[in-house]
Amino acid sequence: MADTLKDKKVAILVANEGIEQVELTEPRKALQDAGATVELLAPEAGEAQAFNHLDKADAFPVDRAVGDADAADYDALMLPGGVANPDNLRTHPEAVAFVRAFFAAGKPVAAICHAPWTLIEADVLNGRTVTSWPSLQTDIRNAGATWVDEQVVVDGGLVTSRKPDDLTAFNAKMVEEIAEGKHAAQHA
């Protein structure tokens, strides 16, 4: 597994505050352990503040502001959850456009917990089957997708998962989909 993703560059996109820490750190570790180069992007340069549920946790240095990044420079995208993180992220047009560009290019995207809110804003869920934290199911259905209560769901290069308890399965499927590369079924 150490070089499964050798020569792959993955963007992790977060808001500058409100990320569920374990949903950032565990997928990032899985990507790095598989050999990927990982960059943390956020709307603003500086730091991204993570949380353990509602308690402030660690701050992580942002590698690049999303407005200064080009989706063409990355092989895949990972979106951590946390309630505040995607709710904030979807208010930044440059972040939404960045997400949409991965779907337009057919590149793998992984999203856990509340992260599908950003996918809803990017208007990329119509016709897909996804999972998420249960409170998003109505939003997901209203976006034209089928919501299912499963540990991890893969739909044409899009990997979704429900919660931190699902991270082991989520990380394995995320690495697998990124290793496969572009997907014809991935669309904007």
Secondary structure E strands in the chain: 9-13, 17-20, 37-42, 47-52, 55-61, 64-65, 76-79, 109-112, 129-130, 146-147, 152-155, 158-161
Q: Is 113 a catalytic residue?
A: yes
Q: Which of 53, 92, 114, 187 is catalytic?
A: 114
Q: Which of 53, 92, 113, 183 is catalytic?
A: 113
Write the single-letter amino acid at 97.
Answer: A
Q: Is 92 a catalytic residue?
A: no
Quickly count helices (H) and strands (E) in the chain.
6, 12
As a whole number of Å, the CA-based R_g of the chain is 14
Q: Which of 107, 126, 101, 106 is nearest to 116 (CA)?
A: 126
Question: Active-site residue numbers?
Answer: 113-114
